[in-house]
Structure formats: C-alpha cells, structure tokens
Structure 1
C-alpha cells in the first residue's frame, strides 16, 4: 500500500486497484463494401473467352462472328422459365415479409381493435347468459326432482316425509327394504337442503358459488338415484298378496324405473348447463387475451424475428435476381466477336466458352485463391494499381473467371481477367498489377467494427454499454469507464469486410458496443497541498508532503 502524508493528514491507498476500461463504437447505418484483392500482370493479349454464369438451353443468339458489340450487349439468352418463376416467387416473398414487418411495427389497426373489444363484450354477455341458464336449470331441476319423489316414489311408502317411513309392501329382501327406507329419509333431508341452497343463489352469485351449487345438486340427485335402485331391488323380491298383485308390482317397477331415468336426465342437463358456463368462461379468457395482444406493443423478439424473415427474403430475392441475370450472356466490354461456339438449341455449360471477344482494351490477369474466387463474378468492378506507375489507379471490370484452377504446392489458384475501363499509355504489357475487386455493396445497413463481434457456440453476440453510464478516461483518450457492466446481446450478422460487419437483427442505430476491454492494475495516488499558519502537532506550515511506501 502507499501512505501519503500531506499537510498533517495521512491517506492510505491500495496499490492493486483493478480498473476496467473499454474501447467503444456506436452502431450506425452505413454502406458496407466487401472486396477481394489479388496480384498479377498486364496481359500481352487483348482477347477473352466469354463463359456463361449458368447452364441451360440456348434460346436466342443475338450476335454473329465479326460483329462489333458494346459493353453489356446481349450475346445469347438461356432458357429463363425456371429462373423467372423463382424470381417471381422471391419477389412475392419479400412483399409478404415486408407487409408482415410493417404491420407488426404499425400495431393494431382501429378496426382490429374494435373487433377485439366487441369480441370481449360478446363473450361477457354469453357468459352472463350461461350463468342465468345454469341458475334456471338448477331451480327447474329441484322442482322436477321434488315432484318426482313425492308423486312417483312416495306412493311406495307410508309416511314418506316422516323420519321413520315404511314400505307399503312386503319384500323378502330385508336389506333392500332397510336401504330404501333410509334412502327416503336421506332424500327428504337433501330436498330441504337443496331448497335452502337455491334460495341463496341469484344472478349476482359468484362463479364459485354456482360451481359449488352444481356439485351439491348432483350429490342430491345421486342420492335420489340410489333410492330408486333400492326400491327396484325391494320390488324385485316383493311378496304378492291380495291387493298387491304381480301386475301392480310390475306397474310400480315401471314407475320407479321411469323416475330413475328422469333423475339421470336431470343430472345430464345440469352437467350440460355447467359445461356451457365453462365454455363461455374459456371463450371470454381467449377474447381478453386476444385484446391484450392487440393493445400491447410488439415484443422485441417478434420484431427481430420479422426483421430476420425480411432480411432472408431479400437475400433470396437477390439470389433469384442473380440467377435470372445469369441466363443472359453479355459482352463484358466493347469489342469484336472473334468466335461464336453456340447456336439456338445447344446446351450451354458454365465451364465452356460460348464466344471469344477481341478488344483494344488492356487486360490484367490476376490470381485469386479458391476462397476468394467464389465471390467473384463477371461484371464486377475493380480498382487496378501498378507498382511501376506510382499514384495511377484505373477502374476495371471483371471479364473472365477461370472455371478450372491450378494447384501449386497444395494451393489452388484461379486466373481472373479484368478489362481496363480506361486506357493509359504508361501501362505496358507485363507490368505488375494489384486488383481490388468489389464483390458486394450493401446500402443502408447497420454496421459495427469486427472487433465488437464475439461468438459462443453457434450464436454471435456483442457487449452493449449504456450511454448514460460511460465517461471518457481523459479528454485525449479513446477509452471509456463505465459505471455498470456491459450486457451481452445476441445478434444476427450479415455481410462483412476486413473492418466492419453487417448486423441484421439485435441492435439499433445509436447503440454503444464494446470493441476492446482492458483490465489493468493501477496505483491510486492523491495529493493535497495546504498552506496554513495554524497547524500544530503535525507538519510545518506550507504543507509538508511525504510519501511512505511499504
């Protein structure tokens, strides 16, 4: 530690403070240009072979041998039916993805919101109606059950409503008789309890009260069904006697069985009414959930998903446009057709030259490795520089890309021919040339420095700092301190060049990302000088300063 003595005061500072500083960058909208470079020589020949970028049947040949052509003029056309269909589908996919993305950002339309609110109101009314129907059903069920007991079952009892009823007939099944008489006592108590319960219910009763009433009502009805079963058992063993003949027994059985069927029907009707209430409750919950979704702003993950789908659709459209364009074989620069190797009906192959073009333009032949050459296509623009002519930069156009590479010491290279867009007499055949070929230009995209991109498994992510939490280390420093730790943000990356990477999802313009993290041990120091004539028992006036290390 470091002890600082100043003006009679002692200050103790730790000597191993950990300090983290950050290099940062602001996410911005930009044009991302990707390119590849290679070296070679200026060719001594001024002719190139023209290779189609796709394979297919030749449907048109628009030039003849000896004809002069301009840059971009059509030489031949391949069958476009499949490419045209794919292009149309890709265009429709972009339109659909764009519409979905725009709709998500715009939120719910007033019409959709009105429909959602109407659905909630309708569901509430349906639930109220279902509750009313259930209450009516319970009241009706009690009335029907009470009449059933008194009119269809009580004729088989003496004093049926008393606490000690007896059967009006004799049965050899003693237990069935006992069960029937006790069953009538139970049903009598249940009817009284049921009537009391229904007296507590109204249209304003809570759902829980109505649910409990349904359960109780079904319990009471089950007791009535059990009473019917006991009576049927007792009648099955009934003893015939004068005034209680077999035909009377059969008629009583039919009456009891009819009562039992009616009880089952009542149970089923209550269950159906209660199921209607439950269905109405579910419909209301769904309507309220739908309204909540309509009212709520779009979720960030939904926006990111829609944005990713739109980006994917645009990429597929670009691929479809490229495929369609590849069916049209054009002259890379102005010149004269020296040879024509195809006619209508032939099958053109991407690795076979269809024509030879002679021009007055100089041509640079450069070598690219197998990794870089896959991104190079005929027609792409290039910038040419020359070791022998300092400061000279000439624009060029890719005119030919070898389809077969040459392996040297295990490395496969391909020759790419670039036609000069302008001529300069200082450039001679055989001169060394460096070409920088632009392979992609993506406009109006979010970009971050490559150093900000990190990977974890199959995911890419960046570290994001809060704008209000950072302060520069000093006025001249490019590093920043942060009062809070950076948060990890998963991103979807697109194209990239040597310095920047496109972000298609996960960030917004203005976000601050970490490009560098530096953690260091620094010795904190503080000095204080005081001039005072009133100091005593300590340092002399004038602010004596001592540092004691240990």
Structure 2
C-alpha cells in the first residue's frame, strides 16, 4: 500500500500592535533602571545628608541676658551746711582719688570760729594749770614753820599728854577700882553668876555697838559719795550755764544754734545761770553737811568701841577677882587704884585744860592753812576748771567740723560725672556733684526662674558691648537678688555682674549682651545638634562607614553632655575623626 504524505500545519502567533510593543519596552527599561543600582550597590545611602567629621573643641554653655553698663559705685554729693560756692576745683571727666577736694565754700567765718574756739581753749587750760599749781614754795615753807611752832607750844604745855592719854587714865582708874572691889569679900554663887553674866552682856554689847556704829559710819560715808556726785553734776551744769551766758553776752547769739537772741531769750540764759548757781551752792552745802555727819559717826565709833571694850575689861577683871582673891592682890589693887587716880588728877587740871584748848586751836588753824596751800585744789574749783577746758575743747572740735564741712571731698576713687554748681552760687540742700567709680563696671541683667538655679556668685561672664563689638569683656557674677520680680506673669531674678574695663573705652549706659558661663569643656568631642536624634528611647547618631568603596550608615548609640548653640558634647560612643550624617532639609 502506498502511503500518501500529508502536509503538516504550522502554528501562527498573532501580530501585536506597534504601540503595545513600545509601551512594554519602556516598562522593562524603567524596571532595569531601578533594579540594577541596588544589585550593584551604587545607590546613595546619604539620602541628601552631609557627612560631618567628629572634632574636638572648647564648648561653653551659658545663659544669655542683656543689660546696660553702669558704674560700680555712684554718689550724689552735697554739702551739710549752706553757703556760697568759692571754688570748683575739678571739671567733669576728671579722675580723682579718695579725699581729693572737689568744691569749696566760702570758709572765712568758719576759720574765724576755729580761731576763737582755739583761744578760748588756751585760756581755759591756763586757768586749770594755775589752779593745779597752787601756792608758791615760799608760802608753803612759811605755813609749815607756823605749824611746827604751834605743835611745839602744844607739846610744851601738855607734856606730851593727849586725849587718848586722858581716856586711858580714866579707864585705868575704873579698872583698878573694879578690881579692888572684886577682891574684897568672898564670892558666892550669885556673885559669880552675876559676874559671868556681866561679862557675857558686856561682850554682847561690844559686838552690838561695833555693828551699829559701823553701819552708821557706812551710811554716812554713802551719803558723802552721793552728795559728792550731785555736786559734780551741779558743777557741770553751772559751768555749761555760765559759758552759755558768757557767749550770749558776748555776741547775742544762741550758743546752741548760732541764731540771734531776743531779750527774752537772753533772760532765759541768765535765769538758767542763776538757777545753776543756786543749785551748785546747795550741793556744796549738802556735801559739807554729809562730811560733818560722817566725821561724827567715825568719832562715835571710836569712842563707843573704846567704852564698850573698857566695860568688857572691867567685867573680866571682876570675874577674875572673884575667882582668885588674896591679900597681896588686894593690896596691889589698892596701890594701883591710887596711882591711877593720881595720874588722872595730874592730867585734868583746869588751868592746864584751858591752855591746852587754846594751843590746840592755834595748831589746828596752822595745820588748816598748810593743808589749804599744799593740798590739791578743792574738788568744786577743780571740777569747774576741768569742765571749762572740756567745753572749750568741744567748741573747738565743733568749729573744726564746720570748717571741714565747707570743703566737699571725694569719698572714693572715681570720675567726676556731673557738676551742678558754679562759683558764686548759693547752695543749701541737694546734690552739687556726682562721682562715679569706673575702676570696674556692673551690668544688671534679668534671669528667669528656670535658669537662675544654674547661676552662682563667682561664675565667669562674657559681656559683649554692642557699641564696641568683639572681643567680649570678661567679668564675674557678683550678686543674685534674693527677691524675685514678676512682670507679665514671668518670674525672674536680677543678677549683678561686674566687668573690668581693661583697655577698652567703656561708658556708662552702653548696651551689653552677657553670657553667664554655666559649664565649660576643654578639648571635648562634639557634633552638630541636628546629627543627634532619639530612637527607641536611646540617643543615637548615624555614623558614615566607607568599606571597599561602598558607603553605608550605621546607627550608633551615644552619651551626650553639654549643649551650646548648634553643637553638643559627645561623652561616649564616638571617636575623633569619625563622620556622622547631618540630615538634609526635608
């Protein structure tokens, strides 16, 4: 059988339109363009950012505030007394030292008052010296000779007998009589008891007498001191009243204010002087009476104690005689009594007593005259003279103060900022000159309550003077106000800064921008603030890494420190020379 070959049919694809083919080619080209860079690693990982190198530098953190330059110290000076300006000794802008005369008033009247006061002091001192020097040597020698003559005559008349001798003689008579009476007769118990009681009572009486007389004497002595003090007060008041009256009579002016006095005012000072004079006389009389009372009390003490002691001795002798009687002792007692009575009679002759009294008076007069010449001046006279010297010295001091007050002097080193008077003008109250201290300046700035906790006295400050430009002046924080201010609901504190002018022409009133340095890091690693971000609770930067020509970004955690302006300190996590990514603008 013959097979007939059959023709095989071919499959035909449909022909696509040209636009479809072109679109497919474009899509494939875009896909290849996007895929090839990622496969080859040639895509830009910086994504428009800029690599920044980590460097070391000095970082300064601070608080910024503004203020005005002011002098450290400023004083508006004025005179304490009115007057006419005689000289202006400085000009505005002059530098002066402390104590430099600035302006002088007409001081002729003040100088005359000083001269008058100095003369019055010299006169008062001369009067006091004359009072203190007392009598001449010749007068004192003559008075001493009179005392010696009177004393010799008294000794000759009295035979060296004194009142104490007479008192002792009487005591011996009483003692001898008591001893004899006690020796005669035998004692019994009643006598012994009575004698012992008498002795005890005499001893007790002696102690009472001693206490009472001593108290009386002390009271009298206290009265003397009190009245002496009153006398001194009266002397001071008298001296002041007398000097005031003398000044009133001399120039008709009030000694206290210097104002002219009317006739009534003059009579007031005259009446005050008369009253002070009467008070002084009363005080002197009271003191003399107190002295007489004290002398009486002292004599009473001596006499009273002597009598009490004699009674004790008699009581003791009576008791001894009762306890130890014998004939020999009785005979001796009679002899002793006779001798004592004879001695007393010899001392008590009437004619002799009259002569003794007269001569004692002569001696007393001579001794009083010598005491007056040789003793210090009377307390009253000396007190008055000393008061006059003290008052004259006070008047001189006051006049000198008034003279000094006619010259205005600089209280501190500074510059004359303003002068408000000219020669010939009359000044009263009010500033005449302004002085400023420009050795250092101060700037007062306001810091809010959030920042003020980081400010402390002693911190360094950089102060940029707007009118002068860089470099800034270096200063320090001097003071932080303890009380806050509140303006527009903002709580803030005034901080005073002090700045040294150096060699720059600082002027009061210039505007200043201050930076209070709160922290400073030397040689610190830092990066731009924009390179740091927070991610998942950590502070990180993107580190730029180049490896075999391929650039990648590595997220690196870092520890940051202080921030100043656009830089931030890196404490840990980076090394110098590394690069971090500074993102570009979004």
Quick check: which one's helix share is greater? 2
State the TM-score, normalized to the length of structure 1: 0.31
Higher Cα Rg, which structure: 2
State the TM-score, normalized to the length of structure 2: 0.29
Quick check: which one's strand share is greater? 1
